[in-house]
Structure 1
């Protein structure tokens, strides 16, 4: 039991960011912005998880329809930055070419996840587990999007998660940063879903 508890406590088996797949060294999460009104709800949090590396996560809920998650790893630390997602159990179609995952469920609850990152980003699939009750676990897929960080430039990802009833209705999606580098005081990204453009931004 203790071995499994240890496994489930690992940072890399949660939907978050790691450096070299290591557990967080510091957990001092800070809410930088919470904006719950209007067509786009915005949440921005920050955590100095490792020495010389902080993780800022910005979450946008757009038109009550889909999520855009921006992860930025800023600081002088070097290594491989890993962005982890734990997939639901069940059949999932995926593509390394465009970094997409689409669930293939029949019960009307499906989703498409697509990650947009810098050139050279790789994707790794690993066996994962989900604990459904005490001493009960089921297999699922763990995924990481990995980028080598060699210097002071931040590593930045945009992930779009689009829920839909039928996997056949998975939309075409694209996303890019409008601010060319990590900005302590704000963020601006452009997302397109089935050709409809949405600019998401905030200032602190």
Structure 2
């Protein structure tokens, strides 16, 4: 993975988040604090600007800069969780995209203390990692993330602000899983690799 490839991926993710900002916020207004779309849009805009201003020399530095920017610019749980995802990816990107995403996923699990089925971004990220671990394509991983996102609808949230709603959180799509599916969609569209 080279910096140009990763920059294309993150720029596409930023574009998707911007286009879906209001939809992400609407999802978050139902079960959260109605700021996921605006927070992620602000954070990814800052990432794109930071990468353009001082392009990192290597993939690890680029992912580290992405992570630190998100931690500093995105409020709520999303900043620390997405920041951890990219910071952990930075340490493993030399092994390829799939292993790096797995390392990021494990970082998110440790940071957020969420498990599959808790109605979080984990429910989209985990299935994508499983596909890549098995040698599947990024397109297949993106589909797995989308399926994981859709599977959050009937779940009762057990982590985050949505968990305060208890049974009333069922019937709503998780915003974090939704933005994670966009992350994998962007990867499939721009990287097109088999890890």
TM-score (norm 1): 0.27
Structure with bigger helix share is 2
- Highest relative contact order (Cα 8 Å, sep 6+), 1 or 2? 2
